Amino acid sequence: MIRSHSSRTCSSASALARAAGAWCWLLAALGPPLAAAPPPSRPLIERPYPIEAAPSFPGGLFHWVDSLAGTSAGKTIPAHREDYLKRFGALSDADKTALEAFVAARAEHMRRSTGSAMLGAFCNAATVAAALEGVRGELSGKSWEGLAGALDHFEPKYRKVWNDGAIPQAFLERARADARLPEIAALLEKIVKFYGVDPLAATPPRLALVPVPAGYGTHAEAIGGVLLLEIRDGEGLAEEASVIVHENAHFLWSLVPPERKTDLADFAAGMNGRAQREFPHLGEAIPTALGQGVADRLFRPSSWSPDDPWYHVPEIDLCAKRIFPIVRYALEAGQQMDRDFLVRTLAAATRSNPAAKQLAISPR
């Protein structure tokens, strides 16, 4: 296992400082427009709202170093660490010093913002320099220089992993040519109605695609309108449909007006104790039922199973499977997520021993 903490050496610390100084000079020369430059992308899906998608080198670099440092929220930290060992060997003293600086900057930023906000800034930037400029004001000078130096230190190695974005780019080409792409659009149209929001009134979400080694699972994360997706070599639309739907469900929930969210939470608070305890699970269980339940069953009927893990947290996995029939029926019936839906969903979620026939729905 790669660890991020070790003793510093004077030589590596000096090298990190010199690298950070180079970044400072470069960013000062390029000026503020960098921070405003959006990453190049075009819609993967046009309706019911445009979903843009593009490989993200800045997001990939940050997520990779974040994984090596052990500060990522991702499930694939072991995958990236083992791949690093295979490619580059054990961490050098300079590597460890760079990771220490990264961890310190990450910790400082998390004290001032949400845990994934910095990852979102890198996923939503056209270049690493632009992302660094975007977070400059959210860090002390020392931490910012440490972050810049750490990313500069690891960038040459990550470029070998990145391989010109070959894996995410190949996925996009396959997905755009896939005849089943309109089926995701049709499903999302139902999900928009379920959440009762207008996604066209918001900035379109952006899929930031990054590679992950084969032989492990994948990680995806919604940070506002930025949706990080790890892609394995050779994957196509069928493999990623559930993840695209899952993360877009998070995006659509973010558009639900605060008063509606408060009303649902207050209503759940007035239910019995078991329902109250289950209610917080719905934030992940509903997107899981939509993605790993509805979408994956649609796109991979021969391999889809309610017995396989849908989510890495057991409580949410169980909740998603229990509410799957309710969520699926709501979509087909054109129902909205309201108090009535909440009653039926929490009744299913708190059932002590749900009948197996609830989930044994034959594929279409």
- Per domain, the residue ranges of the chain are 11-40+56-169, 257-358
Looking at this protein, which amino acid is placed at residue 298? L
Higher pLDDT, 22 or 178: 178
Could you tell me the pTM of the whole model? Answer: 0.83
Say if CB 243 and CB 292 are below 8 A apart.
Answer: no
Task: Kindly give, in sequence order, each residue whose CB lies less than 8 Å from that of residue 215, ignoring residues fewer than 6 positions away.
Answer: 79
Neighbour order of strands in the sheet with 226-231? 42-45, 51-55, 206-211, 226-231, 220-223
Higher pLDDT, 61 or 2: 61
- pLDDT tops 50 at residue 336: yes
- pLDDT tops 50 at residue 19: no
Within 10 angstroms of residue 8's Cβ, the number of other Cβ atoms is 14
Cα gap 209→60, rounded to integer Å: 8
- pLDDT tops 80 at residue 346: yes
- pLDDT tops 70 at residue 16: no
Say if CB 109 and CB 135 are below 8 A apart.
Answer: yes
Helix axes 77-88, 141-162, angle to 10 degrees: 70
* 37 — pLDDT class (breaks 50, 70, 90): low
Q: Rounded to 5 degrees, what are φ and ψ at 221?
A: -155, 135
Say if CB 105 and CB 62 are below 8 A apart.
Answer: no
Kindly report, residue by residue over 296-315, the tens digit of the pLDDT.
Answer: 999 999 999 999 999 989 99
What is the dihedral angle through the alpha carbons of 322, 323, 329, 334, rounded to the nearest 10 degrees? -170
